[in-house]
A and B are shown apart, each in its own frame.
Chain A
Amino acid sequence: MTTVEKPAYTVIGTRPVRPDGVEKVTGKAQYGADIRLTGMLFGRVLRSPHAHARILSIDTSAAEAFPGVLAVVTHRDLPSAEDKMEELGESNINVREASDNVLASDKVLYRGHAIAAVCAASPHVAEEALARIKVEYDVLPPVMDVRDAMREDAPLLSETRHTRSMGGKTSEKPSNIAAYNQFKGGDIDAAFAEADAIVEREFTTAMVHQGYIEPQTSTASWNADGTITIWTSTQGSFAVRGLVAEILRQPVSKIRVIPMEIGGGFGGKLPIYLDPVAALLSKKSGRPVKISMSRTDVFEATGPTSGTYIKVKMAAKGDQITAVQATLAYEAGAYPGSSVGAGAMCMLAPYRVENFELNTYDVVVNRPKTAAYRAPGAPAAAFAGESVVDELARELKIDPLQLRRANASREGTRQVTGVPFPRIGAEEVVDAAIDSPHYRSPIEGPNRGRGVASGYWFNGGMQSSVVASVNGDGTVNLIEGSIDIGGTRASLAMQLAETLGVSYESIRPTVVDTDSVGHNDVTGGSRTTFATGMAVFEAGMDIRRQMITRAAKLWSCTEDDVVYEEGGLRCLKDSTKEMTFAEMAKQSARTGGPIVGKASLVARGAGGAFATHIVDVEVDPDTGKVEILRYTAVQDVGTAIHPAYVEGQIQGGVVQGIGWALNEEYFYDESGRMVNSSFLDYRMPTSLDVPNIDTVVIEVPNPGHPYGVRGVGEVPIVPPLAAIANAIHDATGHRFTSLPMSPRKVLEALDGIE
Chain B
Amino acid sequence: MSRTQVQTRLNGVAIDFLCEPRQSLLEVLRDELGLTGSKEGCNNGNCGACSVLVNGRIVNSCCVLGVEAEGAEVETIEGVAKGDQLHPLQQAFLNEAALQCGICTPGFIMASKALLAQEPNPDEQRVRHWLAGNLCRCTGYDKIVKAVLVAAAAQAPEMQEVK
For the complex, is A675 an interface residue (Cβ under 8 Å from B)?
no
Within 8 A of B (CB), among A482-503: 485-487
Q: How far is the CA of A649 from the CA of B143 in the complex (A)?
A: 11
Q: A28-B37, A644-B97 are in contact. Are A264 and B103 (CB under 8 A)?
A: yes
A645 touches B97 (CB 8 A): yes
Specify which of B30, B105, B106, B138 is in contact with A648 (CB 8 Å cutoff): B138
A687 to B130, CA, bound (A): 9
Chain B nearest CB from A626 CB (Å) reads: 17
B140 within 8 A of A: yes
Q: Among the listed A261, A263, A486, A687, which residue makes an inter-chain contact with B132, where contact means beta carbons less than 8 Å apart?
A: A687
If A25-B93, A266-B137, A687-B141 touch, whether A678 touches B42 (CB-CB below 8 Å) is yes
**How many Å from the CB of A373 to the closest CB on chain B?**
11
**B78 near A27 (CB under 8 angstroms)?**
yes
Query: Which chain A residues lie closer than 8 Å to B31 at the CB level?
Result: 36
The yes or no answer to A262 lying at the interface (CB within 8 A) is: yes
- Residue from A17, A294, A648, A688 in contact with B143 in the complex, judged by beta carbons closer than 8 Å: A648
Query: Which residues, 246 to 280 on A, are CB-close (under 8 Å) to B?
Result: 261-266
- Which of these binds chain B: A51-59, A212-220, A383-391, A598-606? A212-220
In the complex, chain B residues whose CB is within 8 Å of the CB of A487:
97, 100
Contacts of B20 in A (CB 8 A): 124
In the complex, what residue of chain A is closest to B144 when comparing beta carbons?
A: A687
Alpha-carbon separation in the docked complex, A316 to B112 (Å): 53
User: Which B residues from 92 to 131 make CB contacts under 8 A with A?
Assistant: 93-97, 99-106, 109, 127-129, 131
Residues in B whose Cβ lies below 8 Å from that of A28: 37, 78
Taking a contact as CB atoms under 8 Å apart, the answer to whether A486 and B100 are in contact is: yes
In the bound complex, what is the Cα–Cα distance between A701 and B78 (angstroms)?
Answer: 42
Q: Are B137 and A22 in contact (CB under 8 A)?
A: no
B133 to A: closest C-beta gap in Å: 8
Q: Are B42 and A295 in contact (CB under 8 A)?
A: yes
Q: Mark A645-659, 1 if CB is under 8 A from B, else 0.
A: 101110111111000
Set of chain B residues within 8 Å of A124, measured between Cβ atoms: 1, 20, 22
- Is A473 positioned at the interface, with any CB of B under 8 Å from its CB? no
Complex Cα spacing A29 to B100, Å: 13
Complex interface: chain A residues within 8 A of B81 (CB):
26
Query: Does A686 sit at the interface, judged by CB under 8 A?
Result: yes
Quick one: which of B22, B36, B100 has the most chain A CB within 10 A?
A: B100
Q: What does the 1/0 interface line of A685-700 toward B look like (CB < 8 Å)?
A: 0111110110000000
Contact A27 B86 (CB under 8 A): no
B140: contacting residue among A266, A652, A678, CB under 8 A = A652
Among B34, B37, B90, B128, which residue has its beta carbon within 8 angstroms of that of A688?
A: B128
B128 near A656: Cβ-Cβ < 8 Å? no
Given A26-B81, A124-B20, A652-B140, A214–B101 Cβ distance below 8 Å?
yes
Contacts of A690 in B (CB 8 A): 140-141
Query: What is the chain B residue whose CB lies nearest that of A209?
Result: B137
Q: Which of A33, A262, A686 is B40 in contact with, Cβ under 8 Å?
A: A33
Question: A213 — which chain B residues lie within 8 A by C-beta?
Answer: 39, 41, 47, 49, 101, 103-104, 135-137
Q: Please tell me if A18 contacts chain B, counting CB pairs below 8 Å.
A: yes
For B144, the chain A residues whose CB sits under 8 A away are: 687
User: Which residues of chain B come closer than 8 Å to A212, judged between CB atoms?
Assistant: 101, 103, 137
Q: Which of B20, B97, B109 has the most CB of A within 10 A?
A: B97
Task: Give every chain B residue within 8 A of A656 (Cβ-Cβ).
Answer: 137
By the criterion CB–CB under 8 Å, are B38 and A27 in contact? yes
Within the complex, the shortest CB–CB distance from B68 to chain A, in Å, comes to 18
At the interface, yes or no: B158 with Cβ under 8 Å from chain A?
A: no
| Complex Cα spacing A212 to B102, Å | 11
A651 touches B47 (CB 8 A): no
Instruction: Indicate with 1 or 0, residue by residue over B12-56, a CB within 8 angstroms of chain A CB atoms.
Output: 000000001010000000110011111111111011010000000
User: Is A526 in contact with chain B by the CB < 8 A criterion?
Assistant: no
Could you tell me the dominant secondary structure of chain A's interface residues?
loop
Contact A21 B39 (CB under 8 A): no
Interface centre among A27, A124, A645, A684 (most CB of B within 10 A): A27
How many residues from B make CB contacts under 8 Å with A?
A: 58
- The interface residues of chain B lying within 8 Å CB-to-CB of A261 are 101-103
Q: Does B152 contact A (CB under 8 A)?
A: no
Chain B min CB distance to A231 (Å): 13
* A34 interfacial contact with B, CB 8 Å: yes
Is B76 among interface residues, defined by CB-CB distance under 8 A? yes
Smallest CB separation, A35 vs chain B (Å):
9
Contact A264 B40 (CB under 8 A): no
Chain B residues, Cβ within 8 Å of A668: none
Q: Is the CB of B104 within 8 A of A687?
A: no
B80 contacts partner chain A, Cβ-Cβ < 8 Å: yes
* Chain A residues with CB below 8 A from B30, complex form: 33-34
A509 to chain B, nearest CB (A): 15
For the complex, what is the distance from the CA of A294 to the CA of B135, rounded to whole Å?
16
Contact string against B for A residues 59-79, beta-carbon threshold 8 Å, 1 for contact and 0 otherwise: 000000000000000000000
**Is B77 on the interface with A (CB-CB < 8 A)?**
yes
Q: Which of B35, B49, B139 contacts A652 (CB 8 A)?
A: B139
B142 within 8 A of partner (CB): yes
Residue A679 at the chain B interface, CB threshold 8 Å: yes
**Within 8 Å of chain A (Cβ to Cβ): is B59?**
no
**Min CB distance, B147 to chain A, in Å?**
10
CA of A265 to CA of B101, assembled, Å? 9
Is the CB of B145 closer than 8 A to any CB of chain A? yes
Interface centre among B31, B76, B138 (most CB of A within 10 A): B138
Check A514 for interface membership: any CB of B closer than 8 A. no
Residues of chain B lying within 8 A (CB to CB) of residue A210: 137
Minimum CB distance partner of A217 in chain B: B40
Question: How many angstroms from the CA of A265 to the CA of B137 in the assembled complex?
Answer: 10
Q: In the complex, which residues of chain A have a beta carbon less than 8 angstroms from the beta carbon of B134?
A: 686-687
Could you tell me which residues of chain A, from 455 to 487, have a CB within 8 Å of some CB in chain B?
A: 485-487
CA distance A690 to B140 in the complex (A): 8
A84 within 8 A of B: no
Contact A679 B78 (CB under 8 A): no
CA distance in complex: A485, B42 (Å): 20
Q: Quick one: given A15-B97, A25-B86, A688-B128, are A652 and B36 in contact (CB under 8 Å)?
A: no
- Per the 8 Å Cβ criterion, residues 1-42 of A in contact with B are 15, 17-18, 20-22, 24-31, 33-34, 36
Contact A264–B137 (Cβ < 8 Å): yes
Distance of A15 Cα from B97 Cα, bound (Å) = 9
A262 to B104, CA, bound (A): 11
Residue in contact with B46 in the complex, picked from A15, A27, A678, A693, CB distance below 8 Å? A678
Q: CB of A568 within 8 A of chain B?
A: no
Closest-by-CB residue of B relative to A679 is B46
In the assembled complex, which residues on chain B have CB atoms less than 8 Å from the CB atom of A655? 139-141
With CB as the reference atom, state the residue of chain B lying closest to A646: B97
Q: Which residue in B38, B39, B44, B93 is a CB contact (below 8 Å) of A263?
A: B39
Option from B76, B127, B137 in Cβ contact (under 8 Å) with A211: B137
A224 part of interface (Cβ distance < 8 Å)? no
- CB pair A264 B138 closer than 8 Å: yes
- A residues within 8 A CB of B139? 648, 651-652, 655
A292 at the interface (CB under 8 A from B): yes
- Across the two chains, which residue of chain A brings its CB closest to B46? A679
- Docked pose: A75 CA to B160 CA in angstroms: 64
Beyond A17-B94, A33-B40, whether A27 also contacts B137 by CB under 8 A is no
- Is there a chain B Cβ closer than 8 Å to A680's Cβ? yes
CB-CB contacts of B63-87 with A at 8 A, as 1s and 0s? 0000000000000111011000010
A-B contact sample (18 more), CB < 8 A, given A28-B78, A644-B97: A15-B97, A22-B90, A27-B38, A34-B30, A36-B36, A213-B103, A261-B103, A292-B40, A486-B100, A644-B143, A648-B143, A649-B100, A652-B139, A679-B41, A687-B127, A687-B131, A687-B134, A687-B136
17 contacts between A and B (CB under 8 A): A22-B86, A22-B90, A28-B37, A33-B36, A33-B39, A36-B31, A210-B137, A213-B136, A263-B39, A295-B41, A647-B142, A651-B142, A652-B137, A686-B131, A687-B144, A688-B131, A693-B140
> 6 nearest interchain CB pairs?
A27-B37, A263-B103, A651-B140, A486-B100, A27-B77, A24-B102
